[in-house]
Structure 1
Amino acid sequence: MKSLRSGIVHLGCGNFHRAHQAVATQAALNEMGAEGHHWGIASATMRRPDLVTQLAQQDNLYTLLTRERTGTTASVIGSLHRVFCAADQPDRLIERIASPTTKIVTLTITATGYHLSADGQLDVTDLNIRNDFNNPSPITAIAFLTRGLERVRQRGTTPPVIICCDNLSHNGVTLRAAVMAFAEAEGRGALAQWIAGHVQFPDTMVDRIVPTPHEGDIADARRLLGGIDDEIPVSAEPWFQWIIQHFDGPRPFWEAHHGTRFVHDVDMFERAKLQMLNGSHMLLAYVGQLTGRETIAEAASDPVLGPLARRFMRFEQTAGLDLQEKELDDYTDELMSRLKNPAIVHEAERIGRNGSAKMAARVIRPMRENISAGRDVTGAVLLIASWIRWFALHEKEALEISLEDPRAAMLKKICAECRDHHAAQAEAFLAMEEVFGPSLPDHDKYVADIAEMLKRISEQNMQNVLQATLKGESLAVP
């Protein structure tokens, strides 16, 4: 589209962005016609310079493959106006953020890209964050935003609205605090105060399962496009949801895409998704891999693990959700149906990445509430024990998957120092407040329960352990 111009800057031009925000923006462009042509996206990849080259060879066009149980449909997405690599052109990204034509900045950089501690605050001791202090060519998204907003303030222009589209608790509030904390840590207190008073960071909730591309995608795109080649198609499930807190200022008509809503309070949508979908995703990934289930669909369809995951989702992960019983039942059924979709090849290994950055909001918060209320937390115990087991096996070079986690070295070191000592491993892991937060209520009891579960899954047949867990057999040490 030759008349397209960039009104949106995006940080993190990955698969999720291309199957979510870019798709909603395409729907808006289709609906708005010529009046919407200034809502093209200038998308910066943070880690994949090869994607810039691949998209450029296709005029920044690519195929969305929507995979349903009954078949796959293809649509061409053309909302990416410009694509570039942040690492290669840091000043270009800063200038794009600061440009008066940029009205909105969106981000999908994964939870680890914000460099937060377990309490949701910016970790100013993080090496990448420290290296970006007063650095004119930064590498972190937090620093890029700070540099761009600093230029806006210096020029006296209107700042863009900053929209986090990652799975963080209160993601807008959290991102705003992180950017302000970064500015403060650099000695730019006045900038931090200006951001507090002038820049909008609405909360959002995003939901769409977007699996890692696989070799069949290219062939499917060629077939569905009538022989046209696309080297970088992206697959997604049919489900799409984007809940955005109302904000002031111009924006695309994103509601043109079914599933996009603007609301006054995102909190309940966010908690339901983080806990019920994302937390259960973690259970299926960690436990599934230990039972030989390579994908989430395989794990969710397992006759024992599937019911365990459903019970965990419905009766543990609903803690703190002020919804009717029928709403919770219906959402649980809907989520389990999505997770079992065999057309979505979502690898357990990928879902299991960066567990230490996800654990607090997705698992520990509802676990803490359940313990305080006297409710069962067997699913959370199983999840945490299975996560520890991943590191224990990896330390012994007995796990045939890569481990990607910002604290991988520390966690493997614990497993090496406490090799085969399950109680010591559980105690050392749970002692990390930067991962789990403050001690759990009745902390020693639940450390012992996790240690016992870890012992069982280390020494017994995993299917037998799951059967016993599903039946509700006690974890009490005989």
Structure 2
Amino acid sequence: MRLCREALAHLPSHVYRPDYDVSRLQPGIVHLGCGSFHRAHQVTATQAAINAMGEKGLRWGIATTAMRRPELVRQLARQDNLFTLLTREPHDTTASVIGSITDSLFAGDPEANLAGRIADPRTRIVTLTVTASGYYLTADNRLDPEADAILADLRRLDEDQPARTATGLLVQGLAQVRAGGGVPPVILCCDNVAHNGATLRRAVTDFAALSGRDALADWIEATVQFPDTMVDRITPTTFADDIADARRLLGGIEDAVPVPAEPWFEWIIGEFEGPRPDWEAHEGTQFVPDVAVFERAKLQMLNGTHMILAYVGGLAGLTTIAEAAADPVLGPIAAHFMRNEQSAGVELPAPRLDRYTRNLMKRFRNPAIVHQVERIGRNGSAKMAARVIRPMRENLLAGRPVTGAVLLIASWIRWFALHEQEALEISITDPRAKSLRLICAEARDDHRAQAEAFLAMEEVFGPPLPRYDHIVSEIAALLHRFDTQEIRQVLADLAADI
């Protein structure tokens, strides 16, 4: 039997399931960017809210949308939009069937009518998880007017065709709300972008202005709420083992799209006006006046450290974040980087920063979470400014060491250099991959030229760093060592100096 509404009655008693009639749910939330994280995070928290709210919760179903690849939402639709959350402890796994999705859509399908769904009076909230690269931002977190996808969407708006980017869809939907005199939905960005609510507001108003709709841009700026959020749950890619475990835990019922996740869950949401689900029913969710300190700690200390584990771990032949974090040399380097460099500007007491560092490294080492370094290493050019360069700049201005940041950047460059030489087994996904490989090809034997050309990309790194020539020299020196020494020896020497 395939997982579906009919199968709910046949689940083993140890499997958690919805406490409500999933057939009675109505969509009150539109989501852009259906993927594993969304299902392990917002969808799971929404189920907890509906469970807690009883009859009143049935208005908070989610119409979720795949932006690029339709197969996931098609598989969900075949399962009545049900799926299994596999919560993976180091030595145990629990299964929960999640049923808070009402509709599974594909942005490329004209019949999806996403702008109309955003404008539907029943839609009170729009959430997004399209990844940092899905917003097409420059290093200063403004909409990139030259991005191909943005230019294509501007043409679609001129031709009255459905948009394909998140910003384009929001502009189309909000335009319909304004034209109809309705109340706009609250827009909740749930991606790892600095000041994500304010940043998305600027991107949407920039897009509206670029499309010649200045009055709409002013209305969005004045009327639509874009609270900041911070989201945190490590959610790896689904593999065949996850599908097999779901089948076993569900008593033989087949789920084609289970999602594994760690036990940890955190969702910090800026306070906003209007109706919403009781998301606080899920432990780890809270509404606060100011998200900034939570966001900065997570972006820098978790996401930034993920990057060093991915790029250095990949060079060292380690395939998962758990392996990299547990490595006897790389693990301590990463922990030192997290606590002593990435905490710059995070206004929390030292004991709390110490505890956060220990907890994060413990989470990273969870062997049940198979988080590939290849996946974490994606789209580095879109992540670098907020996660690494911001604290690095503060540390340089304060005269503090930036050894870890230099190692991270050099390792990232090395990925492209090896890829250009067809000497890297890891595949690279990055919006600027072509130009970055070209830099490495043109300066193949000149490590300083590679370092200078990368750091000169202000759309990635922002304005020139303090002590620019010194940093270029340090990165170039590491690139030279990567070329002439074993990576293990390089790491051992660096670890001895921290």
Output the TM-score relative to the length of structure 2.
0.94
Q: 1:452 aligned to 2:477?
A: yes
Q: 1:424 aligned to 2:449?
A: yes
- CA change 1:367–1:90 in 2 (3 A) is farther
**Is the Cα–Cα contact under 8 Å of residues 389 and 458 in structure 1 kept in the other structure?**
no
1:302-358 CA distance string (max 9 Å, x none): 000000000000000000111111000000000000000000000000000000000
- Out of 113, 127, 141, the residue aligned to residue 148 of structure 2 is 127
CA–CA separation in structure 2 for the residues paired with 1:57 and 1:186: 38
1:250-300 CA distance string (max 9 Å, x none): 000000000000000000000000000000000000000100100000000
- CA change 1:90–1:454 in 2 (3 A) is farther
**Is the Cα–Cα contact under 8 Å of residues 34 and 73 in structure 2 kept in the other structure?**
no
Q: Which amino acid aligns with 2:362?
A: S
CA–CA separation in structure 1 for the residues paired with 2:263 and 2:272: 27
- Out of 74, 77, 85, the residue aligned to residue 98 of structure 2 is 77
Q: Which runs of 5+ in 2 are unaligned?
A: 1-21
Partner of residue 256, structure 1: 281
Q: Which runs of 5+ in 1 are unaligned?
A: 474-478
- Out of 105, 115, 120, the residue aligned to residue 136 of structure 2 is 115
Partner of residue 269, structure 1: 294
Secondary structure of residue in 1 paired with 2:23: coil
Partner of residue 25, structure 1: 46
Partner of residue 415, structure 1: 440
After the TM superposition, which of the residue ranges 15-24 and 48-57 deviates more from structure 2? 48-57
Q: Which amino acid aligns with 2:207?
A: F
Partner of residue 214, structure 2: 189
Please report how far the alpha carbon of residue 134 of structure 1 lies from its aligned counterpart in structure 2 after TM superposition: 4.8
Partner of residue 93, structure 1: 114
- Out of 191, 207, 227, the residue aligned to residue 232 of structure 2 is 207
1:186-217 CA distance string (max 9 Å, x none): 11100000001110000000000000111101
Please report how far the alpha carbon of residue 91 of structure 1 lies from its aligned counterpart in structure 2 after TM superposition: 5.8
Please report how far the alpha carbon of residue 48 of structure 1 lies from its aligned counterpart in structure 2 after TM superposition: 2.1
Tell me the percent identity. 64
Q: Which amino acid aligns with 1:47?
A: R
CA–CA separation in structure 2 for the residues paired with 1:59 and 1:455: 55
Please report how far the alpha carbon of residue 420 of structure 1 lies from its aligned counterpart in structure 2 after TM superposition: 2.0
**Is the Cα–Cα contact under 8 Å of residues 294 and 347 in structure 1 kept in the other structure?**
yes
Q: How does 1:155-166 map to 2 (within 5 A)?
A: 155-166=180-191
- CA change 1:90–1:146 in 2 (3 A) is farther
After the TM superposition, which of the residue ranges 136-145 and 235-244 deviates more from structure 2? 136-145
Q: 1:387 aligned to 2:408?
A: no
Partner of residue 390, structure 2: 365
CA–CA separation in structure 2 for the residues paired with 1:60 and 1:48: 16
Partner of residue 324, structure 2: 299
**Is the Cα–Cα contact under 8 Å of residues 91 and 137 in structure 1 kept in the other structure?**
no
Q: How does 1:428-439 map to 2 (within 5 A)?
A: 428-439=453-464
CA–CA separation in structure 2 for the residues paired with 1:353 and 1:446: 24
CA–CA separation in structure 2 for the residues paired with 1:426 and 1:287: 17
CA–CA separation in structure 1 for the residues paired with 2:235 and 2:269: 20
Q: Which amino acid aligns with 1:249?
A: G
Please report how far the alpha carbon of residue 472 of structure 1 lies from its aligned counterpart in structure 2 after TM superposition: 1.4
Q: Which amino acid aligns with 2:376?
A: I
Q: Which amino acid aligns with 1:158?
A: V
**Is the Cα–Cα contact under 8 Å of residues 314 and 426 in structure 2 kept in the other structure?**
no
Please report how far the alpha carbon of residue 131 of structure 1 lies from its aligned counterpart in structure 2 after TM superposition: 1.1
Partner of residue 53, structure 1: 74
Partner of residue 476, structure 1: none
CA–CA separation in structure 2 for the residues paired with 1:80 and 1:48: 18
Partner of residue 336, structure 1: 361
CA–CA separation in structure 1 for the residues paired with 2:494 and 2:280: 44
Q: 1:14 aligned to 2:39?
A: no
Q: Which amino acid aligns with 1:345?
A: V
Say how many residue pairs are matched.
473
Q: Which amino acid aligns with 2:466?
A: P
CA–CA separation in structure 2 for the residues paired with 1:378 and 1:417: 27
Secondary structure of residue in 1 paired with 2:24: coil
CA–CA separation in structure 1 for the residues paired with 2:376 and 2:229: 21
Secondary structure of residue in 2 paired with 1:133: helix
**Is the Cα–Cα contact under 8 Å of residues 90 and 138 in structure 1 kept in the other structure?**
no
Partner of residue 377, structure 1: 402
Q: Which amino acid aligns with 2:61?
A: G
Q: Which runs of 4+ in 1 moved over 6 A?
A: none
CA–CA separation in structure 2 for the residues paired with 1:48 and 1:30: 30
After the TM superposition, which of the residue ranges 336-345 and 29-38 deviates more from structure 2? 29-38
CA–CA separation in structure 2 for the residues paired with 1:455 and 1:435: 23
Q: How does 1:347-362 map to 2 (within 5 A)?
A: 347-362=372-387
Output the TM-score relative to the length of structure 1.
0.98
CA–CA separation in structure 2 for the residues paired with 1:442 and 1:16: 38
Please report how far the alpha carbon of residue 448 of structure 1 lies from its aligned counterpart in structure 2 after TM superposition: 0.5
